[in-house]
Amino acid sequence: MTIRVLLADDQALLREAFALLLDAADDIAVVGEAADGRAAVERARELKPDVVIMDIRMPEMDGLAATEAICADQDLAASRILILTTFEIDEYVARALRAGASGFIGKGIAAEDLRDAVRTVVAGDTLLSPTAIRFLVSRFLATPDDVLALGSRRLDALTAREREMVALAATGLSNQEIADRMVLSPFTVRTHVYRAMAKLGARDRAQLVVIAYQTGLVRAEPAPDDSGRL
């Protein structure tokens, strides 16, 4: 199967460079481009790509608003959004994940890493940089316990094993890493994760991370500062 990609960035030179890098792969094809967020939404509705590589700062409509529009469109439920950014700040990370983005990549990404990123989100996995995860975790450190307790009711539909898989996935472990830790096959892990996603209404593993922290299934610990104090 060929993975169909839409590139959304206001810099024509960057779109051209990314298109060359992606088209060099046998299993990836760039099917369209957009120079602003509004055009990205329109092109996504027209082309129904597997992946949209979305810049944040664009004219007309920024990439975050475009991500929200695409992820809210039921006709585009199968499309995955990769946020292209040099601005991994708390507000952007949280808003993009809430909207349904599947991950973040930096503009300085290497060619093979770019292609692997596209393949990763198509497979339903999360692609979060250490910076993005750190911001996400720190955000939920400030979530009141009563809000977490209320949100935990969402987990009632999960089996004990599914909860376990969601908790491990939320720490950033891949299916293979979870399988190695639990002495299970990657297929078994993938099945449990997908069932949990379906029950919780999560588009992908990125949203599972959000849900894990929202419900208190995973509790973040503050990172020590340079002096070693919490």
What is the per-residue pLDDT across 124-144, written as a single tens digit (0 to 9) for each?
Answer: 776 765 555 555 555 554 554
**Integer angstrom CA distances of residue 97 from 71, 103, 211, 228:** 11, 8, 11, 30
- The domain 3-136 having CATH identifier 1.20.120.1770: the answer here is no
| CATH code matching the domain that covers 143-214, chosen among 1.10.3720.10, 1.10.10.10, 3.40.50.2300, 1.10.3210.10 | 1.10.10.10
- What does the domain layout of the chain look like in residue ranges? 3-136, 143-214
Confidence of residue 224 (pLDDT cuts 50, 70, 90): very low
Instruction: Quickly tell me which residue has 């299993």 as its tokens.
Output: 27
Q: What is the pTM of this model?
A: 0.67
